[in-house]
Structure 1
Amino acid sequence: MTLLGGDDPVFSWPDGIRAAASFTFDVDAESCVLAHDPGAAKRMSLMSHQSYGPLVAVPKILSILARQDIRATFFVPGFTAECHPDVVQAIVDGGHEIGHHGYLHEQMQGIDRETEARYLDRGLEALHRVAGVVPVGYRAPWWEMNYQTPGLLVERGFRYDSSLLDGDAPYRFAVEPGSAESLIEIPVDWALDDWEQYAFYPGWTGSGVIESPSKAREMWQLEADAQHAQGGCWVLTNHPFISGRPSRAHALEQLIEGVKALDGMWVTTLEEIAEHAANVTKVVRTHTRYEVPTFPDAPILQDGTPVGGASRARETATLG
């Protein structure tokens, strides 16, 4: 089926497929807390909150996926793999995809190229050492891509990313303006992330409002229905320490059943979706990079940031 209203007018799904869906899990465990605040290592209760993911939730989720006979994509920080090697091996043994998710779920915003390369390489080494995995997919910690990230990924053999939020279906994009090298992007959406529905721990994260699993399931099913209707790609992001709690895990299995029931919905890993997209995408997008404009007499802040304006400098999209 040809995608309705997509960026690429010739993008199509395999014969008999109307749309695609993927259940993805970011196995952050203790890593995201420690990256945010290393002092949290002394907070026994907080660390136990995170450990629930690999110790209890991942086995539960693997059982659900086995019952439902679907394969999923698990994005695993290198530190998580080192701390919980048996859990990572169980994911691999279950036939699921392992993707790269940083080493310590590092803060990515504004880091330099050399630092980011070190994070990538350390995570790659850990996944390979622990489980023999060489991932082809990447999801940036906090979904925070830098403009240098795509080039670093291509240099290391990655074939797709799932961190950006600017599409309803997979697309191909140039790693740099004018570059012949490209990646497949499988977009995500904050509305399809369990963190926004359930995440809470005093003094660390969340608003204190923990939503009902039935509300989250209804919202996610509506998104799946809409993507199915337009021939798009629905990607759900879950964190085991959040969505593996009993009532949420039950709602997740109900959601899987609902998404599977959609006629012609291809439920699979991001790797398989990316492989298909790589074979059919013709348009290569170049992302706009914005410059902050100034008036001639505008003051400059101490960090070098200019003040004022709201225009942009657009780079021309290239067609492949």
Structure 2
Amino acid sequence: MSPSPAPPVSWPAGKRAAASFTFDVDAESAVLSTHPQAADRMSLMSHQSYGPLVGVPRLLRMLERHGVRATFFVPGWTARRHPGSVRAIAAAGHEIAHHGYLHEPLTGTDTATEASFLDKGLDALEEVAGVRPVGYRAPMWELTHRSPGLLADRGFLYDSSLMDADTPYELAVPGGRSLVEVPVQWALDDWEQYCYLPDISGTGLIESPRKALEIWTLEFEAMRREGGCFVLTTHPFLSGRPSRAAALEELVERVAGCADTWLAPLADIAHHTRSLALPPRVVDRPDPRL
């Protein structure tokens, strides 16, 4: 089957575009999922725990200053390790969404294993924060072709892991079902700008927040002209640092001040997309033998 592009989306109240600020609260799980031996590296673990301990409170204060509601993707393990931070996110009125259990990579797993990550994460978020999330983001944005079906089986409304459109769309799921997909992209992620973890991630080149702000602002303005949906992904252990949080606040203020842009959590954007009754798109596995 030949792929087809996502159809255009009309935004509420005559808005021209949509935007959402999202935060992946990985904490130590982003490292431990693939390098469990790193638990013995006290300094590295402290770098990761900065997110829930310092970054999250700083970012929550920043969002409150501008009256912005955001989406926080939380691994179940993070919720159990840092329950106070996760409860503070919920208490501030932000959306809590699913991000695996221990931020586990899905590539190479079988169906039962992937399902167990989903179920453990759901149990942890309900236990700690009292929420049953409607949204999901795959660790490292690496969905499998079975992921949409597993999410639909569990009543999820949306996913935010794919990269093939500028606007949300209905993703076809086997059995005549669909899942709202809210696309992302690597250029709108702070990991590529700031993350250096010795022996694990990055080259050691840590960019200036000015550069990150320039990239993200340019993309927001272009997406706004296109009538698309701007989704920024940041990590509290990275963008929660003082100079980076200050740069991010400049962008939040700019986006929030655009009267023609609907700024909302991803769940609100997904509910709106579902209300449009768009025809589901099939995103199938390409055949490398063509």
* TM-score, length-scaled by structure 2: 0.97
- Deviation digits for residues 130-184 of structure 1, max 9, x if unmatched? 11110000000010100111010011110000000111000001113xx310000
> How far is 1:32 from its partner?
1.2
- Deviation digits for residues 274-293 of structure 1, max 9, x if unmatched? 00000014221001312232
> How far is 1:21 from its partner?
0.4
1:182-261 map, 5 Å: 182-261=178-257
The equivalent residue for 1:132 is 130
Match of 1:112 among 104, 110, 113: 110
- Give aligned-pair identity as a percent: 59
* Matching residue's letter, 1:27: V
User: RMSD in angstroms over aligned alpha carbons?
Assistant: 1.0
Instruction: Give the whole-Å Cα distance in 2 for the aligned partners of 1:230 and 1:165.
Output: 16
Instruction: Give the whole-Å Cα distance in 2 for the aligned partners of 1:100 and 1:7.
Output: 24
The equivalent residue for 1:7 is 6
Greater RCO (Cα-Cα under 8 Å, separation 6 or more): 2
Instruction: Give the whole-Å Cα distance in 1 for the aligned partners of 2:72 and 2:190.
Output: 15
1:1-320 map, 5 Å: 7-9=6-8, 11-176=9-174, 179-293=175-289, 311=290
Which runs of 4 or more aligned residues in structure 1 lie more than 6 Å from their structure 2 counterparts after TM superposition? none
Instruction: Give the whole-Å Cα distance in 2 for the aligned partners of 1:38 and 1:32.
Output: 10
Instruction: Give the whole-Å Cα distance in 1 for the aligned partners of 2:177 and 2:233.
Output: 27
In the alignment, is the contact (CA less than 8 A) between 1:228 and 1:262 conserved in 2?
A: no
- Secondary structure, counterpart of 1:284 in structure 2: coil
- Secondary structure, counterpart of 1:36 in structure 2: coil
Instruction: Give the whole-Å Cα distance in 2 for the aligned partners of 1:288 and 1:78.
Output: 29
* Matching residue's letter, 1:76: V
Instruction: Give the whole-Å Cα distance in 1 for the aligned partners of 2:116 and 2:154.
Output: 12
* TM-score, length-scaled by structure 1: 0.88
In the alignment, is the contact (CA less than 8 A) between 1:8 and 1:281 conserved in 2?
A: no
* Matching residue's letter, 1:234: F
In the alignment, is the contact (CA less than 8 A) between 2:68 and 2:256 conserved in 1?
A: no
Instruction: Give the whole-Å Cα distance in 2 for the aligned partners of 1:87 and 1:262.
Output: 30
> How far is 1:17 from its partner?
1.1
> How far is 1:204 from its partner?
1.4
Instruction: Give the whole-Å Cα distance in 2 for the aligned partners of 1:266 and 1:119.
Output: 33
Instruction: Give the whole-Å Cα distance in 1 for the aligned partners of 2:196 and 2:12.
Output: 40
* Matching residue's letter, 1:194: D
Instruction: Give the whole-Å Cα distance in 1 for the aligned partners of 2:212 and 2:79.
Output: 29
> How far is 1:78 from its partner?
0.3
Instruction: Give the whole-Å Cα distance in 1 for the aligned partners of 2:136 and 2:180.
Output: 11
In the alignment, is the contact (CA less than 8 A) between 2:169 and 2:180 conserved in 1?
A: yes
Q: How many residues align?
A: 286
In the alignment, is the contact (CA less than 8 A) between 1:19 and 1:264 conserved in 2?
A: yes
Structure 2: any 5+ residue segments left out of the alignment?
A: none
In the alignment, is the contact (CA less than 8 A) between 1:25 and 1:75 conserved in 2?
A: yes
> How far is 1:261 from its partner?
2.3
In the alignment, is the contact (CA less than 8 A) between 1:28 and 1:80 conserved in 2?
A: yes
* Matching residue's letter, 1:250: A
In the alignment, is the contact (CA less than 8 A) between 2:12 and 2:262 conserved in 1?
A: no
In the alignment, is the contact (CA less than 8 A) between 1:213 and 1:251 conserved in 2?
A: yes
In the alignment, is the contact (CA less than 8 A) between 1:18 and 1:263 conserved in 2?
A: no
Instruction: Give the whole-Å Cα distance in 2 for the aligned partners of 1:288 and 1:55.
Output: 41
